[in-house]
Structure 1
Amino acid sequence: MTTDDDGAPYDPDLMAAVSDLGDALRGLVDASVRTTVPAGELHEAAATVRAVTARLGASVRPLTRLPVLDDPVRFRRVFNPVTGVGSALAPPLVLREEPGGVVGEVTFGPAHEGPPGFLHGGMSGMVMDQVLGAATIRAGLWGMTARLELDYRRPVALGVPVVCRGRVVEHGGRKSLVTGSMALAAEPDRPLVEARAVFVLPREELRAAYFAEVTDAAGRHAPPSRPTDATAPAAAREDRP
């Protein structure tokens, strides 16, 4: 077994295999939206993909069961659609801590295209939601997105490195206010997208209801929670959700 810096164990061989498959799938998605091969080759490729899908589908987990490699408390989600190394949908974005928040660089490809040559605005929202949520967790807080606002200053080009940042600017009770930006890595001080979000820790009874069926990989009930000052009864507030 291997551990994260803070001691969370995982199977390194399985992690390597999941990462390898995720990388291969991202390559497949990229090729599928750029290819100009004839229709016959597309049909043959589709048959091959369906055969692989059947192999992988021979053993699957329930939707309510966390993957064995996941550790939500340490923000390790291997199939997350933004940061997951095993996800065909993820760019993937790799985040790290920086003073006061989090930062990460990513390059978007044609699978994430909106206007020709530029990132889809909805993808910008999903990525910034993830970045701001990561900043919240890195600050020792936890919550679900109650509000997300974006200002699209300029379009985000595909195929060039982009830097994303997020930081908590205010928190109290169950609520955290988080801000962030997306910019070209070559021009990090010229925001293309600016984001603001409110994350709220759901009340205990709502958490119980939302995650009543969630289990860990062994089938044990494992609802997400964060034992921080935001969960202390003295700090409880009637914010939503």
Structure 2
Amino acid sequence: MTTTDDPRDTGAPYDAELMAASTDLGAALRELIEASVVSTVPAEEIAAAADLVRRATARVGESRRAAAQLPALDDPSVGRRVFNPVVGIGNAIAPPLLVRREEGGVVAEITLGVAYEGPPSYVHGGMSALFMDQLLGSAAGAAGLWGMTAHLELDYRGPLPLQTPLVLRAWVDSNEGRKSVIAGTIALAAEPDRPLVEARGIFVMPRPEKVQAYFGAITDAAGKHTPPRRPGDATSVQWS
């Protein structure tokens, strides 16, 4: 049996209209990115589209937050990271990966388009590393552990096909003091027991002085000093 955590039901209140608009913009931009890498329209159409995009960029970018300032929609303490590049529903480069708990760890399913292509018709290997880093961190968080990635290794058993349902899993392999070893796999959803990618990561809980050095400058959307409660907040389980 699996259970799904929905941080939108908990944590700090947020502007529902802004959340809906940001989610819609993220989805629209994903569609644009995918269309742009498979389009065969004439050059003049591409040029006209580029002009439209630049005008939209100027409109959206009229007011911007600093990198050390959390988005108004985020609440890292419950895993609400709207613009995370893997699970963020408002981030156009995120699939997004929808991670949920299951017995023994976490799981996610995804079908990746041509925007994620490495070898022709297959997923870029670097994307596998990105997704596994996120999922392994989510597995640590789901187990009540936390830390930052100290080491990540992947074995590629076979290429991941594009436009094909994939299943990603991660679980805690061991934990000792500040160090946790997390393992995970990516496989075809149709053959979940035959991993095409296997991952192993070491996550280490930084000492207090390191936490301060890394996150001491973080503020909330209003500019109030708000460092994450723990480094692993960035990889908490997301909603479905």
TM-score, normalization: structure 2?
0.91
Identity, % of aligned pairs? 60
The match for 1:210 is 214
Secondary structure (helix, strand or coil) at the match of 1:221 reads coil
The match for 1:140 is 144
Name stretches of at least 5 consecutive residues in structure 2 with no aligned partner: 1-5, 233-240
How far 1:217 sits from its partner (Å)?
1.2
Structure 2 counterpart of 1:58, from 42, 62, 67: 62
**Structure 1 letter corresponding to 2:210:** L
The match for 2:109 is 105
How far 1:11 sits from its partner (Å)?
2.3
Q: For the residues of structure 2 that align with 1:188 and 1:51, how far apart are their CA atoms? A: 44
Q: For the residues of structure 1 that align with 2:56 and 2:8, how far apart are their CA atoms? A: 31
Cα deviations by residue, 1:148-202 (Å, 9 ceiling, x for unpaired) = 0101001000001110011112112211110010011111111010000000111
Structure 2 counterpart of 1:38, from 9, 29, 42: 42
User: Does residue 219 in structure 1 map to residue 223 in structure 2?
Assistant: yes
Secondary structure (helix, strand or coil) at the match of 2:159 reads coil
Instruction: Tell me how large the CA RMSD over aligned residues is.
Output: 1.7
The match for 2:122 is 118
**Matched ranges for 1:157-172 at <5 A:** 157-172=161-176
**Matched ranges for 1:177-192 at <5 A:** 177-192=181-196
Secondary structure (helix, strand or coil) at the match of 2:32 reads helix
How far 1:212 sits from its partner (Å)?
2.0
Q: For the residues of structure 2 that align with 1:57 and 1:5, how far apart are their CA atoms? A: 29
How far 1:60 sits from its partner (Å)?
0.8
User: Does residue 90 in structure 1 map to residue 94 in structure 2?
Assistant: yes
Asked if the contact 1:3–1:9 (Cα under 8 Å) also holds between the matched residues in 2, the reply is no
Q: For the residues of structure 2 that align with 1:227 and 1:30, how far apart are their CA atoms? A: 32
Q: For the residues of structure 2 that align with 1:205 and 1:169, how far apart are their CA atoms? A: 27
Asked if the contact 2:7–2:80 (Cα under 8 Å) also holds between the matched residues in 1, the reply is no
Asked if the contact 1:141–1:226 (Cα under 8 Å) also holds between the matched residues in 2, the reply is no
Asked if the contact 2:8–2:80 (Cα under 8 Å) also holds between the matched residues in 1, the reply is no
How far 1:7 sits from its partner (Å)?
4.5
Cα deviations by residue, 1:82-135 (Å, 9 ceiling, x for unpaired) = 111011101111000001111010111111100000000000000000000111
Q: For the residues of structure 2 that align with 1:100 and 1:3, how far apart are their CA atoms? A: 21
Structure 2 counterpart of 1:194, from 177, 192, 198: 198
Alignment coverage as a number of residue pairs: 227
Secondary structure (helix, strand or coil) at the match of 1:4 reads helix
**Structure 2 letter corresponding to 1:183:** A
Asked if the contact 1:66–1:215 (Cα under 8 Å) also holds between the matched residues in 2, the reply is yes
The match for 1:28 is 32
Asked if the contact 2:129–2:154 (Cα under 8 Å) also holds between the matched residues in 1, the reply is yes
Point out 4+ residue stretches in structure 1 off by more than 3 angstroms.
Answer: 2-8
**Structure 2 letter corresponding to 1:214:** I
Q: Decide which moves more: 212-221 or 196-205.
A: 212-221
Q: For the residues of structure 2 that align with 1:74 and 1:20, how far apart are their CA atoms? A: 22
Alpha carbons of structure 1 residues 105 and 223: separation in structure 2 relative to 1, 3 Å: same
How far 1:5 sits from its partner (Å)?
4.1
The match for 2:73 is 69
Name stretches of at least 5 consecutive residues in structure 1 with no aligned partner: 229-241
Q: Decide which moves more: 149-158 or 167-176.
A: 167-176
The match for 1:239 is none
